[in-house]
Chain A
Amino acid sequence: MTRIPRWADVALIPAINLVLAFFVSGLVVISIGEDPVEAMAIMLRGSIGSAYGWGYTLYYATNFIFTGLAVAVAFHARLFNIGGEGQAALGGVGVALVCLNWPWTSWPLALAAAIAGGALFGAAWAAIPAWLQARRGSHIVITTIMFNFIASALLVYLLVNVMKVPGSMSPETARFPAGAHLPSGAEMLGWFGIAFPKSAPVNFAFVVALAASVLVWLLIWRTRLGYEIRAFGHSEPAAVYAGISPVRIIMVTMLISGALAGLMAINSVMGEAERLVLDSVQGAGFVGIAVALMGRSHPLGVFLASILFGMLYQGGAELEFEMPSVSREMIVIIQALVILFTGALDNMIRMPTERIFLWLRKERS
């Protein structure tokens, strides 16, 4: 039998991790002489206490859903894709090229083309490390992390030398045409007659992220490819026995993973900035790893963890604003603690919890 009930696995352990992370964060806040309860209240109010807060929280969450799904898909094949950052950056280039090079008049068409562009560029950026892993055995963790640096250098080159508006001082592309404008949160809710702050950055990409979550769930648990990906991830010798080609699975999985990371640009580049700027990813590629770990590589878990990290990002910004003694770095520490406890230190809580459940079971029988 499995060692712990499923509800404990998906809900209890992440909850304990989270409480611990906030407890330690609280100690950090106390150490600078502020009230941790008050800080917590500000974060909650700032992130989900208003429609405006939700608008930002969901915007950040959308980024994390895409990068989290990217990491989760690769995890199922036991591949650790650290390269979400670079793949998302390249996805931005793809989206920008699509948006800038055609005179779009209808946003659904522009969106479809931008999805193709972002996915293609993200996948292409993942393809090289994937090939090196599949054919040459170069470890994918090393290569994807290297490709993050190459991507950031490439982006600087492209924005400074190739895609910049002539005569402009800032390394960014021209604004996308109005026909490529994605409906904002306010516009979408306006269709249903609901009022929503216009300045909140959440946009139609959130819906795309939800659709991507459902599609990833279908892929992993309902298709033959997903079956093969999971089989390979569990046991390579068994996969070979079944006639599943490791090379093919590594390539296909990493292409899908890279494409998902690239799709993040739909939200940040097309939906929000409406132009490609330097550093449009802002660490979301790395947060995706934490999100996938915390969500146990399940799309629903990734979704929930993304909302949580969206809250942390937005609530953290509010906290920084309202408590001047809390610096930007302090917020990063709190976010890092959550990542540390939910991602890296998962086993610290898991093992004692399993032991408690075993002991309870023994007591009962």
Chain B
Amino acid sequence: MSETSEEGRQETAAPAIELRGISKAFGPVQANRDIHLRVERGTIHGIVGENGAGKSTLMSILYGFYRADAGEILIDGKPTAITDSQAAIRAGIGMVFQHFKLVENFTVLENVVLGAEEGALLRPSLAKARKLLAELADEYEMAVDPDAIVETLSVGHQQRVEILKALYRKAEILILDEPTGVLTPAEADHLFRILRSLRDEGKTIILITHKLREIMDVTDAVSVMRRGEIVATRKTAETSPEELAELMVGRKVLLRVEKGTALPGRRVLEVEDLRVAADNGVDAVRGISMSLRAGEIVGIAGVAGNGQSELLEALAGIRPARGTVRLDGKALPLEGRGANGRARRHIGVGHVPEDRQRRGLIMDFLAWENMIFGYHRDRAWKRWPGLMDNPRIRAHTLEAMERFDVRPRDPSLQARNFSGGNQQKIVLAREIDRNPEVLLVGQPTRGVDIGAIEFIHQRLIQLRDEGKAILLVSVELEEIMSLSDRILVMFDGRIMGERDPAATDERELGLLMAGVTHEEVAP
């Protein structure tokens, strides 16, 4: 956006990448809006932003996975049409994905050559790759056994194979998407050393991350994305984590929520040393202890992917966990038969899941079928001899749709035909109507229009004032700040700290979310 005069001195040399007016929409969602970005040759350029800010979309456009609706891409000053990833590779762009694209039962060498074989016979290409790998290993501290099977390598080494793949294809520009998400701190340090030496050799590197410390450590320049736009580009030496956090989160006025003071009562939910494994078997929640009182909203802030989802699912009974969870003093089963969504609902734990389209609703089911989803075995909906009382469910749905202002008010419409906000109201109506003691709420307003956001917030406050305990997980810091009575910040599967929303600000929370502890921030 800003080709400021101070960058003028560099304009003599063409930047490695220049994006002019890139825009991309998915249906009504504007993922990228008029992006202007210059990445100078031989630099490490960071791109930071919250989840959903449009970073990945932008990089996918650069790598040819998506075509931009508007705008142009210049590589080394030349307008280049990147129609697919082959074109990106030809233009000298290499990408290291967050989820590696390796053939796990192939050797390192075979993976490096895959798709870049020269001729029908493998042997010459493999020999050439072996020689190159040896050179690269010397040059950049990237030693990897070329004959090792990929699945036997550590995650850090697998990532190195990805980088080697890109270099083998003569990449001059390397894009890394959240490269340290899966690395140990030592592996991350090593990665940064590799990146620095690559830069010193004249390669250009784009580093996508949400960890501010990495940006400060390793980049030369940084661009901040928010809601599909680049809101600022800074030289790393001239900025601070505080400023970046502020830019990332945005200084937009809080959506004012009418809210009286909370009157917390008894401890309803107690969690002790909870550990939850993610789908890949690695612990995503690594020892969390917390409690939830009646009549309060506790907000869990954090960048997506730091264990909040797993925490919520474990409490809802749909993901096995270890540790202790007590509801009104009674320990709940966390694994095996007793741990399922139905059993939790039965004892008064409602759950508004983070992903309503994947979990919370059956998109092909009608509204009335969705209105009892999870409660469909309740006696109230049963009719002799074990059939479902469909007319009664439809009547109930119509009535609930009126109370929760779901539009259009048609119980016989498929869930997919409602807007995001109205889908969410259906889920909320279903879970609140059952009068739960504890309501677990994940991303209540993701993809929800402004009008519905206000309504959903009011209902949550109202539920709190009725003496229910609410656990709110959201990546929207504004939402956490305006709704919560207490805020817990999660980073890397742990709680980084608890803050009183009245006594903290977005900057402090943003730093905690990025894994910077209070002591480091203090002036």
Contacts and interface: CB of A to CB of B under 8 A. Distances in A.
Are A and B interaction partners? yes
Interface of A: 1-2, 218, 222-224, 227-228, 230-231, 234-235, 237-238, 240-245
B97 interface: no
Contact of B388 (A227, A231, A240): A227
Q: Which of A218, A222, A224, A230 has the most CB of B within 10 A?
A: A224
Nearest to A1: B417
A242 B341 contact: yes
B86 interface: no
11 contacts: A227-B388, A230-B365, A234-B364, A237-B359, A238-B358, A238-B359, A238-B360, A238-B373, A241-B341, A241-B359, A242-B376
Given A1-B417, A243-B342, A243-B343, A224 B365 contact: no
Given A1-B417, A231-B365, A238-B360, A245 B387 contact: no
Interface in B358-394: 358-365, 369, 373-374, 376-377, 381-382, 386-388, 390
Given A234-B365, A243-B317, 10 more contacts: A1-B417, A218-B387, A222-B390, A223-B386, A230-B362, A231-B365, A235-B362, A238-B373, A241-B353, A243-B340
Contacts of B373: 231, 238, 242
Nearest to A2: B414
A25 B388 CA distance: 46
B342 A242 contact: yes
Q: Which of A2, A222, A231, A241 has the most CB of B within 10 A?
A: A241
B372 to A, nearest CB: 9
Given A231-B365, A238-B359, A245-B340, A223 B374 contact: no
A241 B364 contact: no
Interface string B385-411: 011101000000000000000000000
Contact of B341 (A1, A2, A235, A240): A240
Given A1-B417, A223-B387, A243 B345 contact: yes
A224 B388 contact: yes
A238 B340 contact: no
Nearest to B387: A222
B279 to A, nearest CB: 11
B351 interface: yes
A224 B378 CA distance: 10
| Complex A-B, nearest 7 residue pairs according to Cβ-Cβ distance, in ascending order | A243-B342, A243-B341, A242-B374, A241-B359, A243-B340, A222-B387, A234-B362
Given A224-B377, A228-B376, A242-B376, A235 B388 contact: no
A230 to B, nearest CB: 8
Contacts of A224: 376-377, 381-382, 386, 388
B400 to A, nearest CB: 17
Contacts of A231: 362, 365, 373
B155 to A, nearest CB: 25
B318 interface: yes
A227 B387 contact: no
A236 B478 CA distance: 33
Contacts of B351: 241
B376 A238 contact: no
A245 B369 CA distance: 18
A237 B388 CA distance: 23
A241 B387 contact: no
Contacts of A228: 376
A87 B238 CA distance: 74
Given A1-B417, A224-B376, A245-B340, A234 B353 contact: no
Contacts of B340: 240, 243, 245
Contacts of A242: 341-342, 373-374, 376
Main secondary structure of the interface of A (DSSP, over half): helix
A1 B410 CA distance: 13
B255 to A, nearest CB: 28
Given A227-B369, A234-B363, A234-B365, A243 B387 contact: no
Given A1-B417, A234-B363, A238-B373, A223 B341 contact: no
A238 B361 contact: yes
A222 B358 CA distance: 24
Contacts of B376: 224, 227-228, 242
Contacts of B353: 241
Q: Which of A218, A230, A242 has the most CB of B within 10 A?
A: A242
A242 to B, nearest CB: 4
A238 B362 contact: yes
A2 B413 CA distance: 10
Contacts of B361: 238
A216 to B, nearest CB: 14
Q: Which of A223, A224, A234, A243 has the most CB of B within 10 A?
A: A243
Contact of A240 (B318, B363, B377): B318
Contacts of A223: 386-388
Contacts of A238: 358-362, 373
A243 B351 CA distance: 12
Contacts of A234: 362-365
A238 to B, nearest CB: 5
Interface in B279-314: none
A188 to B, nearest CB: 29
A8 to B, nearest CB: 17
Nearest to B316: A241
B428 to A, nearest CB: 15
Interface in B322-370: 340-345, 351, 353, 355, 358-365, 369
B341 A222 contact: no
B374 A243 contact: yes
Contact of A222 (B345, B362, B388): B388
A248 B95 CA distance: 43
Nearest to B383: A222
A227 B342 CA distance: 15
Contacts of A230: 362, 365
Nearest to B381: A224
A312 to B, nearest CB: 32
B439 to A, nearest CB: 15
A241 B357 CA distance: 12
B364 A237 contact: no
A247 to B, nearest CB: 11
A231 B358 CA distance: 12
Interface string B412-438: 001001000000000000000000000
A299 to B, nearest CB: 16
Nearest to A245: B340
Nearest to B414: A2
A238 B343 CA distance: 15
A228 to B, nearest CB: 7
Contacts of A243: 317, 340-345, 374
B290 to A, nearest CB: 23
Contacts of B362: 230-231, 234-235, 238
